[in-house]
Structure 1
């Protein structure tokens, strides 16, 4: 099963680039940019990665992001993730970035998006890895702040395929951002939103009905509503599930409690993703391996999850068919 996971080409649709900041790079950039971080060494950082919920993770996530200052920092961050893609056989990736995390520190929007896009262009040239970039609004901030960020993004519209919604879920429902998502849709952006990870399934309904999203990030709480499960199945609305993240943030107590197998067996459009892999103990392949070691996941399930990752992506149909054919070829 592990050999199958490693040999199949995959797409990753739920990856926060700031969440791929490994401790080694964090220390290197902190030293270069003369940024104080609250850790003595790499081992000290890893010990801090013991989370009780989403907020305890976000506190460390934002502290780490402070070391990212220049365009080159964002290039290096993205390139390190690309090297992981090569190892993991990820041939297409759709990367989230959080501009507000950086612009509020005085880092120019241009530095963030240019560094990321230059690394992704080099990834395409050197390794043939295709990619899209999705800009996320931080939901603990106001909709007014999100509007400002959307305006900043407009000159880079060719570089950014979609907008999303992430950060502290509880108490910040999708409805809070209804108007800015409406404007983003009118501007031609694809729409995604984190919903139904920690908060209940009502957040998923809001994301669907008020934000009119194209894809749900997480969505594991949908299992608590038979009506919603039926709707998600009928619409084949993609859910980008992140198993390691769900365990590390205590959405489920153990891997054996995770509901991804139930969601998949019901017929939902599920894919496996790593979310913030530097913090959540593993990239995509490790997420797959952990599932196989703890749940009755079959080889057919793995193939379905992998193919769903391409079907749910924002690439054109021709490229989707090319990648799906590569999956079939790997299976032979």
Structure 2
């Protein structure tokens, strides 16, 4: 039996403009495009078909996902490949009423294979320009360091990327969390702060709350990606509520990687109730079963979120974005127009 209140909240979640702040562009690479690019570039894949590749998406933890993720990225060789991958994401983002996206990319995944930094950045940047011009979807790029690699490698990657500084607004930290605490990259992030880059980091997905404290105190991040481990630490919850430090939560990713056993057990509503600035995002949507609206719709239904809570999530995504004051005002206005259309009162 359907629930009219939940149905309305789901409809609002689909329609409301929102920002996506936790999307790995390599994680939007659908199996069909992987095979198309493999054929274009003469790359042999260890899977016989699109169906065989998709069947391999039975992940037990973060590392089992990363093994497939890096194999998929092997087909990205030319600037056009990076453009095509990002453009495919933007088309889906537009369909989901994403009006602004801050997109992670992992240059070390590609430079280690001999792909030049310029190829990666310029291919992605050209898709961002096209999305703004043709779809009206704003975007920005965030360069992520792979935390399972060394501090030295991160510094080298930063220096290699600086000639293309105009194309990215910040840096992040991703890949295997366990055993690679944020403190490992404290000096790298200090250098990025000196350069005026925005700072974010993955923490508190599979790692403990201590990793979130390190991201805050040592890396001095402006957002934490994931952060669901915060519920294990009441002091951390209080700190996050007080500072409004945003958390970019990815419900279907948490489900697919066994961080939660059932979406009905996801802590998102508890985090909202505690006054945290949480947002919903898709993480690696090609691998985890859905883009932004799928994450919102399934989470709203599983947790019984209200229309009011959907609006809070949308406004949180605007609040947490790295945009100018005028852009932020425009994004809030777009959200408010849909709120008015649904005849919701603040």
| TM-score normalized with structure 1 length | 0.99
Q: Size of the alignment, in residue pairs?
A: 332
Question: Which residue number corresponds to residue 209 of structure 1?
Answer: 217
Question: Which residue number corresponds to residue 35 of structure 1?
Answer: 43
CA distance in 2, matches of 1:291, 1:5: 10
Deviation at 1:36, TM superposition (A): 1.4
Q: Deviations along 1:134-165, whole A, 9 cap, x unmatched?
A: 00000000000000000011111111100000
Note the aligned Cα RMSD (angstroms). Answer: 0.7
The secondary structure found in structure 2 opposite 1:279 is helix
| TM-score normalized with structure 2 length | 0.95
Question: Which residue number corresponds to residue 63 of structure 2?
Answer: 55
2:34 to 14, 23, 26: 26
| 1:141 and 2:138 correspond | no
Deviation at 1:296, TM superposition (A): 2.4
Question: Which residue number corresponds to residue 5 of structure 2?
Answer: none
CA distance in 1, matches of 2:287, 2:210: 28
| 1:323 and 2:331 correspond | yes
CA distance in 2, matches of 1:247, 1:148: 35
Q: Deviations along 1:52-98, whole A, 9 cap, x unmatched?
A: 00000000000000000000000000000010011111010000000
CA distance in 2, matches of 1:330, 1:22: 31
- Alignment map for 1:241-252 (pairs within 5 Å): 241-252=249-260
2:18 to 10, 14, 17: 10
Q: Deviations along 1:163-212, whole A, 9 cap, x unmatched?
A: 00000000000000011110011011100000000011000000000101
CA distance in 1, matches of 2:127, 2:334: 24
Higher alpha-carbon deviation: 166-175 or 296-305: 296-305
Moved segments of 4+, more than 2 Å: none
1:220 to 228, 240, 255: 228
Deviation at 1:2, TM superposition (A): 2.5
Structure 1 unaligned spans of 5+: none
The 8 Å contact of residues 272 and 278 in structure 2, kept in 1 or not, is answered as yes
CA distance in 2, matches of 1:254, 1:43: 25
1:45 to 47, 50, 53: 53
Question: Which residue number corresponds to residue 65 of structure 1?
Answer: 73
CA distance in 2, matches of 1:243, 1:317: 29
| 1:75 and 2:88 correspond | no
| 1:240 and 2:248 correspond | yes
Structure 2 unaligned spans of 5+: 1-8, 341-346
Q: Deviations along 1:215-236, whole A, 9 cap, x unmatched?
A: 0000000011110000011000
Question: Which residue number corresponds to residue 261 of structure 2?
Answer: 253
Q: Deviations along 1:31-59, whole A, 9 cap, x unmatched?
A: 11111111111111111111000000000
